[in-house]
Structure 1
């Protein structure tokens, strides 16, 4: 598969058809694995990295899930192409910075991806729309078993899978979900919720994972420990916490409509007006307003289709996607202009928010019991 073919359509998990992804956008499972007989990538010499790639690439390309998939060594891709893949969550920023001896193999629907010679020899991931960690895990576990039949993993009977970073020892598994939490942000409850999540040993990160900023009211929640716990224990705890956070967000949305419907209408109406009529808009501002349109779609201000439209735009207005769309490198000012043009075009037929969907609800407690455990 060519790069242009891979990028032609949004990934299955981006669209989320038939799935409740109003709050939990996506679920992801990532597994870290290394070869038994070769130095891990961070300590490997160039030829050792090439040796690892020669072992891994045919093994991964031959997987049943990768039939008619995308496979490229990273030094054959342009920096712009790699950045587009980062924006699509197909490779990490760290992987994009690597050159010779690294590769990416992506399933054609982009639901399964494998990075070769990133921090570890193998970084495998499965992404699903909505809260569906179990399916993501089952999918990736089958891939992992198939790879294990072809190569020998670095494994210790006591420590489990050996990884470059000690925090990945054991299962080598990171499970995470991307959540859209605009109501908790608007009601100033987000700090309480994230603090409660951190206290029980889970990590909260931005839209592109570790070290990234939270944009568009999107937050990624994941496990931090992988040693001494089974995959099932990790999944059960994460599912429980994510469900609780999603409930708090749902409650916060209802509470905002009860207590301050004018503010909700104003925020969503302003976002609608600006996105439909702006001629210059920076990335951060656009993501914030698209987040509010997405919230409006869930609250009934717009037709349901607006949610999937916003999800697609959240990806397409990223800097590298804009430049790929334009076919040339763009400066920040040019990107802001083209971003506004694309958003205006996509939202051309979107009618003004329907405020009749707001109904009086019974009063509730101002400060919810977080109950995250």
Structure 2
């Protein structure tokens, strides 16, 4: 999980920022209609386009998805390195990943090309700068499907235009505790943004982690999309901080008790399912950010959230585990990490 290393602004609430660009090659069918031969041709073309730039020769590595077992494929999704959508095309898909894991180029997902840049903290501008450079490198060797009036052509109409999805992952436990979250998210949805769970579209919100992203890609520039998202995210950050101050001021003992009880369970439990671990780790993360817990680092919890996901647990022990065995091993991982 190298991309989690480093710092970004508002790191007490913002876990990550991400920019994704959807692109397709001109006059070639979308991935859903590709045969294996054409899919291989696209993978080779995109791979060669990326490494054609000498700056990328030694920093990107290519992987063919069909050469990776199903557990490791899910591990990549849980680490936010590839999308769940790429797994749906596992027989024709592939990806390039940069050594620092901040940049991934997915091939033959829903579109021929999905570029992803992910950074810790609130870092949308840095993500966009990286994505824009990579986009230029690929376009120098590949002719995109593009219309002068509407922009980039994509398999899903909702991505037509810029083809850009900007998203920010936020930890908002205090807004959940104070029951403000639903009203806020309803307001957010009315201005062209959407709220999703930990792994984007179709995933549930766990551990009070929410992904906020743009819904509209047509008729707005990349800068407009980022500015709108950033303004709303900043409001959510302010609301969460105010809620934290309020609950600590009026319920100091109660919130400390909740956090220390969660820490006690995590440090001693012998069986832990995924949902419970996410809830308890969220409490610890809040305790760290409120300076209630001082001997555990933010990165430890951020990485532990990923390490305790089902496929990551399975991969660590390199064997098939039934759900009960996995819950036992998850508890073991958490105890070792928090043995301080």
State the partner residue of 2:108.
Answer: 117
Give the 3-state SS of the residue equivalent to 2:11 in structure 1.
Answer: coil
Matches within 5 A, 1:1-373: 10-12=1-3, 14-17=4-7, 19-63=9-53, 64-65=55-56, 67-303=58-294, 305-349=296-340
How many equivalent residue pairs?
Answer: 339
Give the 3-state SS of the residue equivalent to 1:236 in structure 2.
Answer: helix
Distance 1:180 1:79, change over 3 A: same
The C-alpha deviation readout for 1:41-64, integer Å capped at 9, x for no partner, is: 122233222222232222124443
Moved more, 69-78 or 158-167: 69-78
Give the 3-state SS of the residue equivalent to 2:293 in structure 1.
Answer: coil
Q: CA deviation at 1:65?
A: 4.1
Is the contact between residue 126 and residue 140 of structure 1 (CA under 8 Å) also seen in structure 2? yes
* TM-score (normalised: structure 1): 0.88
Moved more, 258-267 or 18-27: 18-27
Q: Which runs of 5+ in 1 are unaligned?
A: 1-9, 350-373
Q: Which runs of 5+ in 2 are unaligned?
A: none
Is the contact between residue 8 and residue 120 of structure 2 (CA under 8 Å) also seen in structure 1? no
Give the 3-state SS of the residue equivalent to 1:99 in structure 2.
Answer: coil
The C-alpha deviation readout for 1:32-86, integer Å capped at 9, x for no partner, is: 0000021111222332222222322221244434623331111111111111101
* TM-score (normalised: structure 2): 0.96
Distance 1:254 1:131, change over 3 A: same
Is the contact between residue 39 and residue 48 of structure 1 (CA under 8 Å) also seen in structure 2? no
| CA distance in structure 2 between the partners assigned to 1:61 and 1:292 by the alignment | 43
Give the 3-state SS of the residue equivalent to 2:277 in structure 1.
Answer: helix
Is the contact between residue 262 and residue 283 of structure 2 (CA under 8 Å) also seen in structure 1? yes
Is the contact between residue 8 and residue 121 of structure 2 (CA under 8 Å) also seen in structure 1? no
Moved more, 178-187 or 97-106: 97-106
| CA distance in structure 2 between the partners assigned to 1:321 and 1:315 by the alignment | 7
RMSD over aligned CA atoms reads 1.4
| CA distance in structure 2 between the partners assigned to 1:232 and 1:66 by the alignment | 30
